[in-house]
Amino acid sequence: MWEDLEKSIQDCQKCKLCQTRKHIVLGEGNRDADIMFIGEGPGADEDAQGRPFVGKAGQLMNKAFQGLGIDRDSVYITNIVKCRPPANRVPEDYEAEACLDYLRNQVMLVKPKIIVLLGSTALKNILGKEYGITACRGKWIEKKGILYMPTWHPAALLRDENKKIDFWLDLKQVQEKCKNL
């Protein structure tokens, strides 16, 4: 139950990320969504507001959603870690592992048909360290009855404009696949 999950994470101290957080960022959106987006971790804006993907990367993702006609409220959005890593660094393995039970519970509660893995950190923590985002991006991977679509993290699009087309095409694939499920 969502209430149990929210209560269990309220005062989480499983790793050192709790020492500098302002807010735990569990996730938001449609709790019965067919599509779940999983990113890396909260940034400064997310930590301040307690909501995922509200900073520059999130605004870019929202523009892609709008362009494709995806209602942000119709999907569920979360991250591997629920607290902001200092200076937006990549979460350490033990930090990601500390949050994985929360994420597993979110997946079990939402029961998405498709999970979009935003970037390398999400890909490696969900499907395995042997996966690389450059090789897997844009290719469907099916595991345990869930379809996964690895794609660039929206923050990568801010650094490299050329990745925007790939991101758009990947989300278009997700949209089409979802219609046919």
As to burial, measured by CB atoms within 10 angstroms (0-12 exposed, 13-18 middle, 19+ buried), residue 137 is: buried
- H helix runs in 72-128, sequence order: 93-110, 120-127
Digit-coded pLDDT (tens) for 42-56? 999 999 999 999 999
Q: What CA–CA distance (Å, rounded) separates 165 from 22?
A: 34
Write the single-letter amino acid at 9.
Answer: I
Digit-coded pLDDT (tens) for 59-102? 999 999 999 999 999 999 999 999 999 999 999 999 999 999 99
Q: What CA–CA distance (Å, rounded) separates 12 from 3?
A: 15
Residue ranges and CATH numbers for the domains of the chain are 2-179 (3.40.470.10)
For helices 120-127 and 93-110, what crossing angle results, to 10°?
Answer: 70
Instruction: Using a cut of 0.75, tell me whether the model's pTM lies above it.
Output: yes
